[in-house]
Copies of this chain bind each other. A is one copy, B any other.
Amino acid sequence: MRYVISELYVGQSAEFTKTISESDVYLFAGITGDHNPMHVNDIYAKQSRYKERICHGMLSSSLISTVIGTKLPGNGSIYVEQDLVFKAPVLFGDTISAIVEITEIDIEKNRVKLRTYCKNQDGTIVLDGYAVVIPPKYVESRW
């Protein structure tokens, strides 16, 4: 799925939902090298403020990139900017919805601004922010 800028409108939104598994977190730690014990050491995490291991903030943030890169604006989108505020921990087994909504469209520069946030299965917003994205052009959009 993809939209070029002329097909986009303010208020348009899309989302992607995924239950975050232990294997997601451990693979993410392996890829990035971020073995912060908050994420991969259950004994340590039990003594921490959250009392259990939590997901990497950048893992749940990456689900925003999923919506942008595959749904809205979609395939071929290029990230320009992403601002993130982490509001609540994501626990193993949480089902996270990443939601993006277009707030501004600059046709001349071919850029859109989106509110981007993630909520868990209880409706708690776990992270909030905005993104600036270059939507795909037609030449990049035949797939």
Residues of A with Cβ closer than 8 Å to B?
16, 18, 24, 27-28, 30-39, 41, 43-44, 47-49, 56-59, 61-66, 69-70, 75-86, 139-140, 143
Contacting pair B65 A32 (CB below 8 A): yes
Query: Given the complex of chains A and B, what is the CA–CA distance between A86 and B56 in angstroms?
Result: 20
Q: Which of B31, B39, B44, B57 contacts A24 (CB 8 A)?
A: B31
Tell me which residues across on chain B come within 8 A of A34, comparing CB atoms.
Answer: 62, 65-66, 69-70
Shortest CB distance A100–B (Å)? 13
Q: What are the 3 A-B residue pairs with the smallest beta carbon separation, nearest first?
A: A36-B69, A34-B66, A58-B62
Shortest CB distance A10–B (Å)? 23
Contacting pair A37 B143 (CB below 8 A): yes
Contacting pair A57 B38 (CB below 8 A): no
Given contacts A24-B31, A32-B63, A70-B34, contact A81 B75 (CB under 8 A): no
Contacting pair A140 B48 (CB below 8 A): yes
Given contacts A31-B24, A56-B65, A58-B65, contact A36 B70 (CB under 8 A): yes
Shortest CB distance A75–B (Å)? 5
